[in-house]
Structure 1
């Protein structure tokens, strides 16, 4: 994700470089600086930092991110800055024993010196973030083996303490010798949003137990104390020490007045529980090395910063729990100094004799969710607790995973022995050898066979549950979906936990890469399962949506449910990002071949979900408003007949007004378009009509039936809304256009409808015929025949829509999305945030913006017939380069074939006004038309109309095609000079946008690459022959093409 956007030092705003800026503390600091107008450069090697912490800032022109190790120096692109903040290497020992290594020591020595040198060269202020633990220390007097302590925790902690001491000493040297503007900030244990519970000792353990429904545990007397500081207070102190005058050369210890004992901390957490929680006291596992009590740092100079902690421990933990997806209670609780309470000591003496309680160890941050069967708690949790999340899609890994052969095959240990002495030795020591062999065999079973078998079993079961969760969520069975997702999480968690202790065996036999990728995969799937749970919970409001909007029910819309759903989706995004973060470390090539394709599918699924969750979050937030929860909403629905094609789909023969109020359908009226159009004539409402309508339809003013003339539906929708207001005086909140293809596909999902008034069934196969029969045959303007048929049909379709059973919801949702993607339903809302979402997904019918080549062929039937039912279109777009300057030429060949046999209703001649939309600044070089009944090709270049539509230029021509004939229209033009293939530009991009409402047009794109060049990258699907590439497709959807040459 690194974004190498160089931010140069400027006098207009401060420029801050933060080493370790993607970490827990650093990301909060980044946010503060950006919000206050500073420019920020983050350096991070992402060992403890996470890209999701800073992902939201990508795209901010004041932000730059470098994935580097500061031990290797700074990027040369960074010239100078105003401030340097050194946070790198602070959090390493907290996260994992595997992270504290030589690199940690180097970060606080070599890395620190590199930053100091850079600050010196930049004449920048320098701030080193250190630890209050520099007051503590422990080192062996007799051996290196336990130099910093006997436990890995002590070793990690005191090694980093020593590293920080060295970093401080180095900073002091630069201050003394080079007069560098330096200050040091020492921090205690920091907590707050974005914290990792595995990095926080007793506090993290207590919070995890609370979230996962367990009682709290205090070890020993509970008298071990720590200084704690809320992350917001820590960031405030850092900023003040950096920007306050007179801080040069000072050391600031940002701590509260008193440390907090473990027992006191436990009771603070207990006070935030939303249920009954006990505090259990258990003996310490090891009493040999007593934790040294923290020395109280010098705090006399904090008054110079005018800084003191603002967030009390209880309030800070309240905010932290909320961020973790847990809703703490609001009851006030002020713990006393329990460590000094005699009654507590007496109680402790009693409970110390009891056995430890057995509690579940599933790390699943959903309150109220408990494991069916309690399992022993591990000493070190396998996965961190993160905010609750969800996803409602089908997961991979549905088949049996192959068994892994850990031991290479070869000849037996005792075969082919030729040395008699060796054989004699084996004979004399057979019992010992058998004992060793039995022990090795037992170890193989204990450390390999059992863990691997259990892990694979849980992985397979998790995959089944996850697949079922997606299926149930798609059917809006949220309860079953949540249960399945929860079960999937348990299985994936167990899959990782059971094999965690066998990593050394895999590494021993050369399977370390497999072990790493496998555990990362199941960890990713665990996060994905959590996201599935949250998303299943988020779609609960949609379970009752159909019932709510129906006018014949008493159900009311619950706005708060949609607010909660939006927050759930936001939480799910975090777990999806964490799932992606784990998956990017997976090397699929070392996993069994059978599951490699599914790894790819899973990767694509996560990417798709990550993108669509942003869309879903915005849409869910707007659903109540769209349904009139906050005031009446009125939508104009246009029924377009694609058999008389127009720019945005088809001739508007009918329209409807759909009104929502308080989340329910208030009214739906369907009417013939000629009724309001008649009022335009009667009241002499005159809006100029395009000249083609004047010329061919003999109409001197714009009517609603012709107002969808602009190829950009957002423009046409605005024109239609304005014209409708002139006629009726009614404002509408949006315009929705449907065509016959949409209705046809809808009937394929729902099944046919029976119209009692007409005693006939309407289905996907006879829709066109019956609509034509009742709407156009013997039809006269103003008659009730068309109105009544469409009213009855529309009412039946609406009834069918809202009575659809749950098991058909996925098919309906898929159909709606496909119709939106293929532009058979167009939506344009007035003054709604949803418009941005509609535009980004190309659901608003607008012209798509691109900086590459662009093509869209727009046909408009201006003959008043339904001839398009018989006309087949076949397009060819060829791009060539035949000049030394690399100028590209486009040739658009459009073949129209009229399959009708005569001029009888509802066919007849096809009068077509065709517009070829291109990028601006193209230059017309030729235009011809050839009819099948003529021998010669006609040059029509002088007759071509050149104009603009939005950001694009178009070439237009009108021709008449008789039944049983065909015509080939060819238009040639030079592409803009900025698209030419040159030494500096060897890339070509094309966006071919389909016309709304049109179905099954055939299309071919041909790219002739210049002589002497070869293709190094291209869109998948091209077929290469000689010096050209061909791509054959249809125009049911838009198409993007890309070619890179050398």
Structure 2
């Protein structure tokens, strides 16, 4: 069959490759994926696959078919895909022995390896379809060809099982050694439309008998058991296994909890017949009777998968028969006793028709979960060959089969007497009076009613509420308003019941003198109830954001409704009221008297209250500004700056690339990623002249300002205005906002999106190798103008934006979480032009601006002006010591900046680190000393070289130095703090705000405060420690630090 279409991998449309896609299961999988918008490539050699299964898909532009044998290699046109389903070789045993020996074994060996190699190259998620028969096996005393039986079908089937075991072992090795993103799904007998009646175990045989108007023949006693699964349940399970975020390295067995006996199947088929059908039992003497009882597959991880079979056996049977044109008599079947002359049999077959489960999302999910391997024969060593069981020469009776036997005998019942407890313990006889036993009964009943029952009820309701609250958090992250509403209501109802039950235990706490514990626990439950109620009303406020991801994506037709944001503001205020009650109740909780386990949960809850409080305060401004930001009324254009942190600059890094993101009526109208040297080249061509800072002019020898150097001001809104002005001079276009990101932001986002393959560089970029590859691909010799080569960050930025906007709603919680961390850690800076939301950004320190504070302030700003990416090699350590040097309590700051260049040579992109450093502190500080020391040499006094200037409310001390590879440098600045910070009788408090620089993440810091003579510590913030009258804190400066000291 010729190739009908070729599909290229695209970040906006997931591409799935299905080996064996023309088969029974594979064709259904194709339809499911295509219906969800995926692109599908099928590889099939049509040994078992059929044209008729997929002919109706050939006209679909998202479908491509290759008639190939995967054992001979994959088509060269297929360079990379997103997902791989290995469905090939599942039905090979239906054909000749030779076919099994050659094709099936190779398909599960060479073919599997070819597909795994493709998954490795393209970073695709891989799924191997295997069989639950890998649990089975027997050792044969016959020659190897009859290893699993004497008839051809059994022999071929179990030979394929050996092949599947090998395939699983091969997949397992790829996971262990290459960390390939893979999982295994073991399937039972699958039945449904398009099934081959020669397969699917006894069910297929019975269905053929029914369709061809024959009586149903059962070989032997019919006690053998088999697992069956309807095709839609199989497809649903396969998709969930591939797209579940925690499925990497996991084995799933998709089966019902119990198998079905052959006899049950026979009566089930008989009862849907449209005519009278007899069940005939056929003696199996002379044939191989070896049918091992099916081992129960491991089902422990199906709950984590979120999968349950929906289609009962009867419903699936009726649908399957309808596909073959057979009209079933669905009204004749009722659970009843099945009685035959051969034996007394009682078998009940029930049926509950359930709708087929909606398919799982197709979008990729990055998982860091450890491997969970279900036990199987894959990792077991070969067992020694033993003799097979002796064949059964006669038809056994049903007496030994517990499930289907129901004999009644005339044997008399034997009564077994047990010794009385009073006989065993004679001293208890005095308590046998009716009065005592009555009292004992009343006492036990009272104990149950007034103690045990309330404890059990409280525990049950609290546990149920905890489960609902966890689900509530998930629903909020996924912007699922209905999920929020349902879980919040469930939590609230359970908490109200828990509170009522717990109040019945008050007498216990009073008697045990633990009234404080009761009141605190009662207030905690009450607070949680109000919190849940707040979540219920907040569900309405989530609605405008519920489909926002679908609205903004350029590949959808969903439109933005601006009024939806305005209408829910009232719900936010109502939610705030309930939330304030929750906060008020929690303030009355004394966590110290709570049990240890509850204390931990209470601390977590306290932090949750702080986060939610912050979120509710932001809700109304966000609801007001969001439609405007998304261009509801007029088009909005935003510039995204990609800053390379390996060449540190004041706002995060050197600007090597930028993007232009345009919104119109709530949707992305355009997204362009380009090198910064293209607009900068236009600045030179058009003669646009804006004076740069003295440092840019001196160290970079540039007499005019370019966009790449325009982020010189550490206050990002100020730098953003400068960049916006330059861009307007170049293009005549006004920007509505500027967003800056650094390499750490990209690294965090890659954790949410998963790796990205850059075709231009022929390599995969992930969160672990981003920094190293960015350093490796750093380019020095740029050519100004539109013909310069696109830089690494330009290509990466474009692919990253594509990947972000292709994420599913299920992946949003992780993406939003990473963006939240980036805002707090100053790896994502945002400022808008004339939008009220700027105030919100400023209050939360998300605009990248200088923080306004009246306390002591410290902000160290480094700028690499040497044209190298040396910051990849330079390690920073900052030490700030505050001491009192005079009797009047005047405080002095001693700041030591340690730089360690770990590079070994001057080769590009490393080399010397030419740094201009500025230290921001409160206006009024006075510099008293400055020294610099290289390695173990003598300290050099550079007091006269320090540039002192003011920037807004702050004073800055600036200087420059060059640090060569392998060198270490220490820069020490001493300055007296402003007089208002002097420790005196009137002022016994000290506070510090230490702002971190954007683009940094692993700088180490140490803060110390020497308690002035005659004072002791009264109170300090969490994280500070006191030893010998010195207060200290140390760690990694990955976010702003705030310290407070109160003396006495």
TM-score between the two structures when normalised by the length of structure 2: 0.56
* SS of 2:572 mapped into structure 1: helix
Alpha-carbon offset, residue 433 of structure 1 = 7.6
d(CA) in 2 for partners of 1:589, 1:993: 34
1:399-414 superposed matches below 5 A? none
d(CA) in 1 for partners of 2:904, 2:450: 80
Contact 2:749 2:818 in 1 (8 A): yes
Task: Indicate yes or no: 2:919 matched with 1:956.
Answer: no
1:635 alignment counterpart: 638
Alpha-carbon offset, residue 452 of structure 1 = 3.5
d(CA) in 2 for partners of 1:866, 1:445: 73
1:459-538 superposed matches below 5 A? 459-500=462-503, 503=506, 507=510, 510=513, 512-538=515-541
For 1:1002-1039, what per-residue CA distance to the aligned partner results, in whole angstroms no more than 9, with x for missing partners?
11112111122211211223343333222111221110
Residue 892 of structure 2, aligned match among 870, 889, 892: 889
2:1000 alignment counterpart: 998
1:978 alignment counterpart: 980
* SS of 1:930 mapped into structure 2: strand
For 1:446-500, what per-residue CA distance to the aligned partner results, in whole angstroms no more than 9, with x for missing partners?
4443334323321222122212221233234443343222211111111223454
1:826 alignment counterpart: 829
Residue 767 of structure 1, aligned match among 760, 765, 770: 770
Q: From the superposition, tell whether residues 918 and 867 of structure 1 become closer, same or farther in structure 2 (CA, over 3 Å).
A: same
d(CA) in 2 for partners of 1:553, 1:836: 32
Contact 2:682 2:785 in 1 (8 A): no
Q: From the superposition, tell whether residues 519 and 940 of structure 1 become closer, same or farther in structure 2 (CA, over 3 Å).
A: closer
Residue 1029 of structure 1, aligned match among 1007, 1011, 1031: 1031
Q: From the superposition, tell whether residues 435 and 623 of structure 1 become closer, same or farther in structure 2 (CA, over 3 Å).
A: same
Contact 1:913 1:957 in 2 (8 A): yes
Residue 558 of structure 2, aligned match among 555, 560, 570: 555
* SS of 1:793 mapped into structure 2: helix
* SS of 2:497 mapped into structure 1: helix
Task: Indicate yes or no: 2:1016 matched with 1:1014.
Answer: yes
Contact 1:670 1:790 in 2 (8 A): no
2:970 alignment counterpart: 968
Contact 1:774 1:785 in 2 (8 A): no
1:1038 alignment counterpart: 1040
Residue 867 of structure 1, aligned match among 862, 865, 870: 870
Contact 2:865 2:914 in 1 (8 A): yes
* SS of 2:866 mapped into structure 1: coil
Contact 1:853 1:991 in 2 (8 A): yes
d(CA) in 2 for partners of 1:918, 1:788: 37
d(CA) in 2 for partners of 1:1002, 1:512: 47
Q: From the superposition, tell whether residues 440 and 786 of structure 1 become closer, same or farther in structure 2 (CA, over 3 Å).
A: same
For 1:493-522, what per-residue CA distance to the aligned partner results, in whole angstroms no more than 9, with x for missing partners?
112234546656764665554443333332
Q: From the superposition, tell whether residues 486 and 563 of structure 1 become closer, same or farther in structure 2 (CA, over 3 Å).
A: same
Q: From the superposition, tell whether residues 471 and 897 of structure 1 become closer, same or farther in structure 2 (CA, over 3 Å).
A: same
Task: Indicate yes or no: 2:739 matched with 1:727.
Answer: no
2:903 alignment counterpart: 900
Q: From the superposition, tell whether residues 559 and 1028 of structure 1 become closer, same or farther in structure 2 (CA, over 3 Å).
A: same
Q: From the superposition, tell whether residues 456 and 681 of structure 1 become closer, same or farther in structure 2 (CA, over 3 Å).
A: same
Q: From the superposition, tell whether residues 763 and 554 of structure 1 become closer, same or farther in structure 2 (CA, over 3 Å).
A: same
Task: Indicate yes or no: 2:947 matched with 1:945.
Answer: yes
Residue 574 of structure 1, aligned match among 572, 577, 589: 577
* SS of 2:557 mapped into structure 1: coil
d(CA) in 2 for partners of 1:496, 1:861: 61
For 1:270-296, what per-residue CA distance to the aligned partner results, in whole angstroms no more than 9, with x for missing partners?
xxxxxxxxxxxxxxxxxxxxxxxxxxx
d(CA) in 1 for partners of 2:1012, 2:518: 49
* SS of 2:905 mapped into structure 1: coil
Contact 1:634 1:659 in 2 (8 A): yes
Q: From the superposition, tell whether residues 762 and 974 of structure 1 become closer, same or farther in structure 2 (CA, over 3 Å).
A: same
Q: From the superposition, tell whether residues 1021 and 519 of structure 1 become closer, same or farther in structure 2 (CA, over 3 Å).
A: closer
1:349-428 superposed matches below 5 A? none
d(CA) in 2 for partners of 1:498, 1:713: 55
1:25-174 superposed matches below 5 A? none
d(CA) in 2 for partners of 1:764, 1:592: 41
Contact 1:823 1:845 in 2 (8 A): yes
Task: Indicate yes or no: 2:779 matched with 1:776.
Answer: yes
Q: RMSD in angstroms over aligned alpha carbons?
A: 2.6
Alpha-carbon offset, residue 989 of structure 1 = 0.6
Alpha-carbon offset, residue 781 of structure 1 = 2.7
d(CA) in 2 for partners of 1:671, 1:534: 45
Q: From the superposition, tell whether residues 758 and 591 of structure 1 become closer, same or farther in structure 2 (CA, over 3 Å).
A: closer
d(CA) in 2 for partners of 1:966, 1:590: 52
Larger RCO (alpha carbons 8 Å, 6+ apart): 2
Task: Indicate yes or no: 2:714 matched with 1:692.
Answer: no
d(CA) in 1 for partners of 2:638, 2:592: 53
1:71-470 superposed matches below 5 A? 442-470=445-473
Contact 1:774 1:786 in 2 (8 A): no
For 1:215-247, what per-residue CA distance to the aligned partner results, in whole angstroms no more than 9, with x for missing partners?
xxxxxxxxxxxxxxxxxxxxxxxxxxxxxxxxx
* SS of 1:644 mapped into structure 2: coil
Worse-superposed segment, 708-717 or 446-455: 446-455
1:91 alignment counterpart: none
Q: From the superposition, tell whether residues 930 and 834 of structure 1 become closer, same or farther in structure 2 (CA, over 3 Å).
A: same
Q: From the superposition, tell whether residues 431 and 589 of structure 1 become closer, same or farther in structure 2 (CA, over 3 Å).
A: farther
Alpha-carbon offset, residue 570 of structure 1 = 2.5
d(CA) in 2 for partners of 1:1021, 1:994: 17
Alpha-carbon offset, residue 548 of structure 1 = 0.9
d(CA) in 2 for partners of 1:946, 1:555: 56
Alpha-carbon offset, residue 632 of structure 1 = 1.0
Task: Indicate yes or no: 2:629 matched with 1:626.
Answer: yes
Contact 1:670 1:787 in 2 (8 A): no
Contact 1:775 1:785 in 2 (8 A): no
Contact 1:547 1:802 in 2 (8 A): no
d(CA) in 1 for partners of 2:485, 2:821: 27
Q: From the superposition, tell whether residues 686 and 460 of structure 1 become closer, same or farther in structure 2 (CA, over 3 Å).
A: same
2:681 alignment counterpart: 678
1:661 alignment counterpart: 664
Contact 1:899 1:964 in 2 (8 A): yes
Contact 2:657 2:794 in 1 (8 A): no
For 1:21-73, what per-residue CA distance to the aligned partner results, in whole angstroms no more than 9, with x for missing partners?
xxxxxxxxxxxxxxxxxxxxxxxxxxxxxxxxxxxxxxxxxxxxxxxxxxxxx
d(CA) in 2 for partners of 1:807, 1:1036: 28
Q: From the superposition, tell whether residues 428 and 748 of structure 1 become closer, same or farther in structure 2 (CA, over 3 Å).
A: closer
* SS of 2:531 mapped into structure 1: helix
Alpha-carbon offset, residue 679 of structure 1 = 2.2
Q: From the superposition, tell whether residues 672 and 591 of structure 1 become closer, same or farther in structure 2 (CA, over 3 Å).
A: closer
Unaligned regions of 5+ residues in structure 2, if any? 1-429
Q: From the superposition, tell whether residues 764 and 509 of structure 1 become closer, same or farther in structure 2 (CA, over 3 Å).
A: closer
d(CA) in 1 for partners of 2:750, 2:477: 20
Contact 2:480 2:542 in 1 (8 A): no
d(CA) in 1 for partners of 2:617, 2:693: 40
1:794 alignment counterpart: 797
For 1:352-403, what per-residue CA distance to the aligned partner results, in whole angstroms no more than 9, with x for missing partners?
xxxxxxxxxxxxxxxxxxxxxxxxxxxxxxxxxxxxxxxxxxxxxxxxxxxx
Q: From the superposition, tell whether residues 451 and 871 of structure 1 become closer, same or farther in structure 2 (CA, over 3 Å).
A: closer
Alpha-carbon offset, residue 817 of structure 1 = 1.0
Worse-superposed segment, 907-916 or 492-501: 492-501
Unaligned regions of 5+ residues in structure 1, if any? 1-426
